[in-house]
């Protein structure tokens, strides 16, 4: 997996949207994959909570019949937790302080999610030996 | 008026005066009140629920004795100036005049736009003229080599405590609930004095991964293709015979067999209404 590409995407999101403090990428099963988070944030806990949160939000949208889920946001007196689906297999959690620009986050997150999804699902490039074999058989 | 940009801002105007500014770049009046402890969250929530159409939210806060009218007005005016500074110090892409929106805390008389522009320009110039000019939104700071060697004011100590390397001046202002302009100026001075340093990229954007390979959707089990699975109808279940068999199967080996007198299978229909 191209972790440098993931790091660049998360850095760009933190720099572009005021108030983003931490970002965690995880599987839909709640297992963390990649985190750009401060010392006070436990990615394993956040991933598990976000997976449950996303599952409930998806069910709610489906049952209510409001179309496709865009984001689910937990509002609290000290800040926000926004959770986005990344394809069918992963999710992205964005933590923000009380000043988080939620509108801009939603706007900026969409292209970032599309790129992250392609990085997460990209198949590893074949080894030189395997590549040679492919060339011989074709 | 909505100023689109990063961080951008929302300027509330009434009769030509700016009565409130909300910006993701600076703590608003509500954040300054609540996070600084001037007003407790309980009092704030109580005032919100008490506030009715006849009396504004801030009038309710004052009526409850939570905060004085003069102190509240002064704090809102500070937040207006700070919000204008934060908006102007960032990137401005566009501006849109919206229809009026409700705002919880507003300055009674407001601030004249020309005075607000004058003060904002003065602040931007003052910051640019400092020995270590910095953006409230870009540079991230860590404690410097002089941090332990000096006695510090309470505000400087709090800035140092929160200078993790991941936070900008704006982020620290939110954490300690102070205006972004005074905190940016203070950080600039502390950088000059060696109390703070600009954080490395590793400290600012350090990340951790769990070594996963690429993700693939879970494959569906191909039941129909398996020759071992019988695709016919499920076997019929006979309650009297299989009930006794299943109890035998699920009972742990050391448990005694239930006496036949407790077999309630024959009473099931009679008790269905209970």
pLDDT digits (tens, 9 = 90+) for A72-89: 999 998 899 999 999 888
B23 touches chain A (CB under 8 A): yes
Tens of pLDDT along A63-72? Answer: 999 888 889 9
Q: Give the nearest partner residue to B209 out of A14, A21, A33, using CB atoms.
A: A33
Compute the distance between CA of residue A127 and CA of residue A129 in angstroms, rounded to an integer.
5
A14: nearest CA partner in chain B:
B205
Please state the ipTM of this predicted complex.
0.84
pLDDT of residue A21 exceeding 70: yes
User: What is residue B66's DSSP assignment?
Assistant: S
> What residues in A contact B212, CB-CB < 8 Å?
1, 27, 33
Range name among A99-103, A129-133, B223-227, B233-237 with the lowest pLDDT average: A129-133
CATH code of domain A3-121:
3.30.450.30
| Interface contact flag, B209 A34, Cβ < 8 Å | yes
Residues in A touching B27 (Cβ below 8 Å): 98-99
pTM for the structure as a whole? 0.78
Beta strand residue intervals within A7-134, DSSP E: 20-27, 32-36, 72-76, 79-86, 90-97
- Cβ separation A6–B209 shorter than 8 A: yes
pLDDT, position A105: 94
Q: Indicate which of A17, A18, A89 best probes the interface with B, i.e. most B CBs within 10 Å of its own CB.
A: A18
Distances from the Cα of A89 to the Cαs of A16, A46, A74, A125, B4, in angstroms?
26, 17, 22, 21, 34
Write down the domain spans for chain B.
Answer: 2-123+260-265
Please compute the mean of the pLDDT values over residues B85-114 and round it to a whole number.
88
Q: Please state the rounded mean pLDDT for residues B21-46.
A: 83
Angle, alpha carbons B249-B251-B257 (nearest 5°): 105
Q: Does B2 touch chain A (CB under 8 A)?
A: no
Distances (CA, A) of B196 to B11, B89, B146, B156, B177: 33, 21, 8, 10, 20
Cβ separation of B208 and A21 shorter than 8 Å?
no
> Across the interface, do B215 and A27 touch by the CB < 8 Å criterion?
yes
How big is the A-B interface in CB pairs under 8 Å?
95
* Beta strands per DSSP E along chain B: 2-6, 9-14, 17-22, 91-96, 141-143, 196-198, 208-209
Measured CA to CA in angstroms, residue B22 lies from A93, A105, B156 at distances of 25, 17, 26
Q: Which residue has the higher pLDDT, B192 or B232?
A: B192
* pLDDT > 90? residue B227: no
From the list B90, B171, B209, the residue facing A3 with the nearest CB is B209
Split at pLDDT 50, 70, 90, the class of B215 is confident
User: Does B96 reach chain A within 8 Å, measured CB to CB?
Assistant: no
pLDDT at B256: 52
SS3 category, B249: helix
How high is the pLDDT of residue B210? 87
- Interchain CB distance below 8 Å, A38 and B34: no
Q: What is the pLDDT of residue A84?
A: 96
Cis peptide before B7 (omega within 30 of 0): yes
Q: Which residue has the tokens 């229809």?
A: B99
A137 vs A123, A125, A128, B205, B215, CA distance in Å? 21, 18, 15, 45, 28
Question: Do the chains contact at A14 and B25, CB–CB below 8 Å?
Answer: no
Q: Which residue has the higher pLDDT, B235 or A14?
A: A14
C-alpha span between B47 and B59 (Å, rounded): 9
Q: Are B34 and B44 in contact (CB under 8 A)?
A: yes
Q: Choose the closest CB to A123 out of B207, B212, B214.
A: B214
Task: Note the Cα A24 to chain centre separation in Å.
Answer: 6
Residues 6+ apart with CB under 8 A from B267: none
Residue B143 has pLDDT above 60, yes or no: yes
**pLDDT score recorded for residue A109:** 95
Q: What is the mean pLDDT of chain B?
A: 80
CA-closest candidate to residue B29, choices B84, B100, B85, B104? B104
- Give percent of chain B above pLDDT 70: 76
């Amino acid at each position: 997996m191209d972790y440098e590409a993931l790091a660049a995407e998360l850095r760009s999101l933190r720099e572009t949207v005021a108030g983003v403090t931490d970002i965690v990428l995880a599987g839909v099963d709640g297992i963390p994959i990649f985190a750009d988070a401060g010392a006070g944030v436990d990615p394993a806990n956040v991933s598990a909570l976000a997976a449950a949160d996303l599952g409930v939000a998806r069910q709610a949208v489906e049952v209510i019949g409001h179309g496709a889920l865009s984001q689910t946001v937990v509002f609290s007196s000290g800040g926000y937790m926004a959770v986005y689906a990344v394809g069918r297999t992963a999710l992205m959690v964005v933590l923000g302080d009380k000043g988080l620009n939620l509108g801009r986050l939603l706007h900026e997150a969409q292209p970032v999610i599309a790129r992250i999804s392609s990085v997460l699902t990209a198949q590893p490039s074949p080894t030189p030996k395997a590549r040679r074999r492919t060339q011989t058989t074709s | 008026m909505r100023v689109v940009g990063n961080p951008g801002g929302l300027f509330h105007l009434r009769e030509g005066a700016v009565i409130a500014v909300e910006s993701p770049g600076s703590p608003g009046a509500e954040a300054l009140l609540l996070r600084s402890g001037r007003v407790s969250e309980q009092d704030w929530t109580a005032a919100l629920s008490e506030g009715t159409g006849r009396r504004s939210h801030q009038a309710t806060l004052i009526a409850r004795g939570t905060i004085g009218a003069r102190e509240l007005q002064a704090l809102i005016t500070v937040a207006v100036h700070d919000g204008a500074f934060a908006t102007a110090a960032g990137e401005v892409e566009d501006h849109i005049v919206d229809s009026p929106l409700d705002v919880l805390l507003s300055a009674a008389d407001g601030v004249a736009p020309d005075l607000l522009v004058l003060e904002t320009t003065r602040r931007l110039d003052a910051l640019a003229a400092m020995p270590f000019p910095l953006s409230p939104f870009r540079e991230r700071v860590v404690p410097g080599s002089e941090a332990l060697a000096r006695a510090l004011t309470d505000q400087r100590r709090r800035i140092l405590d929160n200078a993790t390397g991941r936070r900008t001046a704006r982020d620290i202002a939110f954490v300690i609930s102070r205006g972004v302009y005074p905190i940016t100026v203070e950080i600039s001075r502390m950088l000059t004095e060696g109390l703070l340093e600009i954080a490395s990229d590793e400290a600012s954007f350090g990340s951790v991964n769990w070594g996963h390979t690429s993700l693939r959707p879970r494959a569906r089990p191909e039941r129909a293709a398996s020759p071992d699975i019988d695709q016919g109808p499920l076997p019929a279940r006979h309650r009297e015979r299989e009930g006794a068999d299943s109890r035998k199967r699920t009972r742990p080996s050391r448990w005694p067999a239930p006496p036949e007198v407790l077999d309630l299978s024959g009473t099931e229909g009679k008790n269905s209404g209970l």
